[in-house]
Structure 1
């Protein structure tokens, strides 16, 4: 089974054109960070499914988690020093973007430094498909050992929490990951999309 075929199985409601257009960038990013194996491929695809819903880099939507009723969009992220938001307007400026929904000034700074790109100065770059693939991989690499340990234990909730910080989209993540497991042998490795 090709990576694209497996991604379609994992994300059956996703437009196939989006998978065809974006999966090569995800695979390239995983390759760049030496994460091109079955567990990290399944982790990536299931994460993209629940973080974007459409398998392409997107801006975070306004929701009750980031915007108070009647308040400015993403203002609930303002002053969140735990994600590095220390300046007025940081919530909107460093809202979630990309395949992994990179959020917060500190994450933009750290991942940008790992990639050698000025994400903090130009956060919209996180929605460029090529850079979004690299960002996804760098984000996973940062927690690689913990993610791999959680996956090896079958703790998909723990693996998901390492990316999202909570359980948002957990049921869909688990369902997609399990579909990927059922449709690929344990020694499967992604090649070209």
Structure 2
């Protein structure tokens, strides 16, 4: 069954309306016309099912209603060529984009997020975290290193990062495309990926591992990110990943350029 949205009509819409009614979400007339009543019922069902409340009956909504066998999202990977991504990263040489874009796209696909919105979110995140399109170590700053202290000493005792004291601050500093930080996160994502990140935290900068970390990290926040982007709220989308607004300008610029270049009415 194809993606269904307001303005569509026919037998597939009628099936959708019947399924919504059975689930307890009345679309109004079961007439095969996807109008405002059907859209409202879809949104209510999506809220109830923990899905993105966008009013569009895509694979995940249709699967949840028992109308589709698969909830895989349509892939938009072919829209993200090196040439397109280079425009999202105007100050970045082409060579790291050519080298690392394939592993980033594969990581997102492997995590079940090959759709345009999450690919844009991933690339905009990379632009905000490491504009060079390579996995990198976190740099020294006044927020992680005291005026007369060792590198990353202000992280050593950060309980919110799960650090136990020196040398945890430097050992579990930010790394990768998404800047994974803190013993707690290294431990959680080591288990998720089956990688020895606690014993070998430098592995987070290997391109394939960094891409997988980025994808799984975004997957954990997918609904929050998409809900913010549905409202055009780039600040909240950035905060969902970073916890603040650091890099917001770069994130926003990359998002807007990529959105313009890859939008073809979601065909």
Shorter-chain TM range is over 0.9
Shift of 1:172: 1.3
Q: Does 1:163 align with 2:241?
A: yes
- Deviation, 1:181, is 0.8
Q: CA deviation at 1:87?
A: 3.3
Residue in 1 that maps onto 2:266: 187
Which residue in 2 is equivalent to 1:191? none
CA displacement, residues 63-88 of structure 1 (integer Å, 9 cap, x when unaligned): 11211112111111111111111232
> Which consecutive residues of structure 1, in runs of 5 or more, have no partner in the other structure?
189-193
Q: CA RMSD in A?
A: 1.2
1:147 corresponds in structure 2 to 225
Residues 131-142 of structure 1: matches in 2 within 5 Å? 131-142=209-220
Which structure has the higher relative contact order (CA within 8 Å, separation 6+)? 1
- 2 CA distance for matches of 1:118 and 1:2? 31
Secondary structure of the 2:112 match is coil
- 1:173 alignment counterpart: 251
**Is 1:89 equivalent to 2:170 in the alignment?**
no
In 1, Cα distance between equivalents of 2:152 and 2:228: 31
1:126 maps onto 2:204 in alignment: yes
Q: How far apart are 1:29 and its partner, in Å?
A: 0.7
Residue 20 (structure 1) aligned with residue 98 (structure 2): yes
Alignment match, 1:34:
112
Larger Cα-atom Rg? 2
Calculate the TM-score normalised by the size of structure 1: 0.93
| Cα distance change, pair 68–87 in 1 and its aligned pair in 2 (3 A) | closer
Q: Distance in 1 between matches of 2:146 and 2:261?
A: 42
Give the one of 64, 68, 76 matched to 2:154. Answer: 76
